[in-house]
Every structure is written in C-alpha cells, then in structure tokens.
Amino acid sequence: MIFLACNPNEDIYDDLDEKNAEYEGLIENYVLTAADYSTASGVAKKDAVSVGDLDSTYAKLIKSMEAFNSYYSAEDYVGSVLAKNFGEYGNGSRAYVTYNYVAELPEDLAVYSDATIFELEAEEYENVDELVAIAGYLYPNFNPDFYIADVLTDAITGAVANDIYCIKYKYSDVNPVIAITSSFEEGFTTGLGKFDSTSVTGSKGWYASSYGSDFFAKMSGYQQVNDDWLISNPIVLGNDANIVFNFTHAIKYLNYHWEQLTVAISTDYNGSDIAGATWDVIDWGDVIDTTGATIGTDYTFYSSGDIDISAYANNTIYIGFKYISDLDNAPTWEIKDVTVTPIEPVYAVSYGKTPITKSDFYEYDGSDWSKVEGVYCLNEADYEAMGDPGIDNMFSSDILPQDYLPKFLDAKYPEAGSGVEKTIVYQYDSDIEEEITIATTYEYGENGWESDYDYIQVTTNQFVHNGEEWLFDPTISRELSSADYQIIVDYVKNEYGDEFLDSYKTADYIYGTSAYYSEFNIANYDEEKFGGGDNDWQNAVKEALGEVLLPILYPDAQLQVNGVNMYYRPVFLIYDSGTMTNYAIKFQVTKAGPEPEFTFDEDYGFQEVK
C-alpha cells in the first residue's frame, strides 16, 4: 500500500500568494471618510516633525476640518490613504477620489477677510449725538449709514486711498427710551431710598415711616444717648449758576435744643467714614425761624425753603441730617420731600430691543469714507436665525456655510432678481485661531443663490499607482468654450480656406465645429475625409482635438509630471439631429513640447458626461 502525503499548508500559501499579489485595478468614486482624513493627518504630522515643515497645526487641521489645505495638500497625502485601504492594488491602478480642501480666497474677496477692524467706542458715539452717547449704540433715529462715514473721518488716522476697513458698531433696530433726570428727589415712599442710616452712638436709628398720606424718614432717641446720621447717596452737580436744596420736616419735643439737629453738606465723604469727612453745617437761621412758637412742638410739616448751594457747582456732594439725643432731651425729627435742583442730568436707557454688534465695510478715497455697497457681514442674529450656526455664531467643518447661506439670502433678499450679487462675510472656526473671516460672493440665477467660491470645497481627482506608490494624476480636464471651438474653425480657414466655413465664419465643414453653438455638429463633418459610418464622426473629433486644439493650447506640454504620465481630458458637446450630449475623451502626451504630440487613449474612449 502506498501512502501519498498531503501538505495542508500548500493551499494556505497559495491563498496568501494570491492575496499578496498586487494587481492593476480601478477604484471608482471613492469618497474620503473621517478615518481617512485622520490617516492623512497622521502622515502629515510625521512629515512636519521629520523635515521641520510648517507648524504641525496645519497637519492636525486635516483631521479636525476633514479637509486638506495649501500646506498639506491632497496631491501629497491622499496616496497614504489609498495605500492603507487598497494595499492589493499595484502598478497601473487608478483611483478616482473625492475629498474636501480649503480653497484659497480670491484677491477680490481677501480685501474683506484682511480688512483692518475699527470698533466704535464711547467717543465715536458721542460724536454722532448726545443721545447716542447716552444709549451707547446706534438706532433707527440715528441710522448708521448717515453718520458712520463722518465719524470715521475724525476717528481714523493713517488710512490711505483705497483702504477698506471693517467697522464694528452696536445697533438696535428699535429706538430706545431715554429718561432724563435733572433733579435729586427723595420722598421716602418706599423706604429710605437714596439715603442711608448710620448709627454712631446708641441703639436707635433713622427709619422710614408714614402717617396718613405723609411718608418720611423718622428718628427719635427716646431720651437715650444717640448720635445718628441720615446721609444721601452721592449727588453730582453740574456747572449751573443757581442750585437749590429743599426739604420739608416736622419736629416735636425739641424744646429749642436746635444744637441736637444738624443739616450739613460734604464733598469729601467716602461713603463710610463720617468723622473723617469735612461737613459744612447749614445755619438754622438761614433755613427757618427757630424762634417760632410752633416749630419743634408738634408734627406740623414746614418747608426749609430754597437753600442756595450754588457754591458746590461741579462737585459731588453728600447731604447729611445729623440727630443727637441725650438723657435730658430727645426730639422726634421727621423729614420728607428732599430735593436738589438742578443736578448733572442722570439718564436711564430702556432698551426697545437689546443692541447687537454689527459690521459694515467702508472704503477711503483719500479724503472721505463711504460704505461699500453689496457687502453684508453676518451678525449674531443672522447666525441664530440659521439654526446650528447660531451655536457659536460661526460656521465650521461640521456646519458648512454653503449649506445655509442660500436659504439665508432668500429670506433676506426675497425680491432679488436675476444677476443680483451679494458678497457675504462670515466667521469660520478654523481651529488655528478662534475664528477667521471669510468672504464669498453669491449671484442670483435660475437655480437661486449660487457662489463660485466656498471656503471648504469638494473635488474629485485621479490618482495612479506607479508600481511603488500612489501618485496624484495631473490629468488636465478642460471643458471647451466658444473660444476653443473658434480656434478649430480658424485652423480650418487657414489650412483649407473660407469655402469650408459658414457665412459667419464661426463653423466649419471639416470637423463640424460650431463656435456659435459651442459644439460639434456631426451632420457637418467631412464624411469623405473621416468616413460616413455611424461613429466615424469620432475620428473627426479626435483629430480636431488631438492634432489641432491641444497643440495650440498646450505648446509646452510635458510627458510626465512627478513621474506620472501626462494626460489631457477635453469635455465637449455633440449635436446629433436635435440631441445634445456631453462627452469626454483623453489624450496622452507622447512627445513633449515645444511641438507636442497627443495620442488618443483608446482604453478611455468616448465617455458620456452627465
């Protein structure tokens, strides 16, 4: 009997060989994930350390923003993602990868992103109007558009012609209510109010009381030793020529001991140290007839009359009522309706609506400032109205501006017509700084509000494997314009003559090109030259593009870029009996410029472009 040995590992090794064998393949429509950005970020951070590249912050941003940037580009780092995820793919493999990248801000928009910021302060509001200074912000009665330009002329120095500044200011779209108080008044109807009671000696003190319709501050020592003060809050006096102090009081049980009651004024009282302050005592003889038969004997109220305190103009004063009692005599003193008129006006602002900080852009022409029209800077109310952007009053990689701004513009400019443009300036959380300023211009068209620039943009590019690593494919795609078609028409004129052009000289009958309609019309190509079969029009297109247009457009075309073969991919329109279809074809550069040659890529063929 013969036994045949079987190696159980043989199949395993075969499987491993098959698994480890690299093959040429195509990866279509691969969209980078959060994990992929993390992979690329990790590789970029290692490069930042190993080669002393820019601060690794930008490498970290690839992960946090889920987008490549100008410092660490997709061209350099998508390959690391493909190597990790598709290790079995080898030489000749291709991958079409969709990813996010931070787009460079166009120069015409960068003027808003880089604008010098100037914020209106108290001095600028005062230069608008006294009421604006009191409120501390602008409002409809003082429209910013009418006042800011003049304010900037005095406020900003050093500006030169064509400078653009971002002007920040506080604004409410509802007028405030500004109450002006020009006198000091206290009637003690709700307590001691603008006065404080301080007891120096004894257990008694000033307190608020009432009897009938009378409200007053009251003090009685009840024949005990007391030294008590009733002192006003600080009273700010202006530069007025006639300032009067008045109060009404009732006194009982005085027994002509006027020395026990004192009215005094201080300009240096600090709010707590009574003994350390200087008190100017008002002579009772200047206030009331102290020899009267009734004053001091009952609860009849008498007015002090107007006491002239004009000497205290431009000072802050305190009014003190001092009460003393002892074991022999303890009067009762009731004081009401204390007034000082006039005082430095006191303003109370009631918001009609709480102001917010707004920003506008102003340009200097060398002598005057003017508001830049058509530019709108988002404010906190705008972010809140959009929902999620209102969380931090900015956009981010998770809250993309292009997902919110078109709807915002619809709401803000509901009557905008075709061709209307608005430049929107907004804040973006970049993770490098707290926030950065970005500007983008939207135009209203058939599809609503659209922008040519987004801070975070999405693109798809091709990457190829060269046998060692994945590399960015520098294939240049070009969607043909009317001018491109006209180049072909002009070539026909020069090579074949006017008889092969239409009467307008915008179409030819060799390749079927039409610059007017930006297309190839397959009814008009030369069938004798290229054949009359169903798809022979393709021969006309290949020659028109590969032998005519591309050599003219790219006379310096190179065979390779970074070791990768160079391709050009024109996108064009075919008109066929009323049907219009967009196609793309590819040409490889097979001879470098200055007289390059372009060879049609048969494998790519004619691909319809949706």
- Could you give the angle at which helices 34-50 and 74-85 cross, rounded to 10 degrees? 120
DSSP notation for 44-83 = HHHHHHHTT-S-THHHHHHHHHTSB-SSS-HHHHHHHHHH
What pLDDT is recorded for position 292?
A: 60
> What pLDDT is stored for residue 360 in this prediction?
96
* DSSP 8-state class, residue 524: E
- In whole angstroms, what is the distance from residue 487 CA to residue 492 CA? 9
Angle made by CA atoms 66, 70, 75, in degrees to the nearest 5: 75
Residue 332 and residue 253 in contact, taking contact as beta carbons nearer than 8 Å: yes
Collect all residues with Cβ–Cβ distance below 8 Å to 499 and sequence separation of at least 6. none
- Which fold does the domain 184-344 belong to in CATH? Jelly Rolls (2.60.120)
Asked whether the beta carbons of 289 and 295 are under 8 A apart, the reply is yes
| 3-state DSSP of 225-255 | CEEEEEEECCEECCCCCCCEEEEEEEEECCC
10-residue averages of pLDDT along the chain (610 residues): 37 41 80 95 86 69 86 91 94 90 84 93 95 94 96 94 96 91 93 96 95 96 95 94 94 93 97 96 77 77 92 96 96 97 84 91 96 95 95 88 94 93 91 77 92 83 89 87 96 96 96 96 93 89 97 92 81 94 95 94 90
CA distance 104 to 438: 10
Contact 557, 589 (CB under 8 A): yes
C-alpha atoms less than 13 angstroms from C-alpha of 313 in its C-beta half-sphere: 11
pLDDT at position 254 = 93
The 8-class DSSP code of residue 480 comes to P
Tokens 């060799």 correspond to 510
Give the whole-angstrom CA distance, residue 464 versus residue 472. Answer: 6
Report pLDDT for 601.
Answer: 95
Dihedrals phi, psi of 248, to nearest 5 degrees: -120, 135
Q: Which residues contact 444 (CB under 8 A, 6 or more apart)?
A: 409, 413, 416, 417, 418, 419, 420, 421
Q: How far apart are CA 576 and CA 523, in angstroms?
A: 7
Q: How far apart are CA 135 and CA 137, in angstroms?
A: 6
- Output the pLDDT for position 20: 45
Q: Where in the chain is the domain with CATH 2.60.120.200?
A: 184-344
pLDDT for residue 139: 96
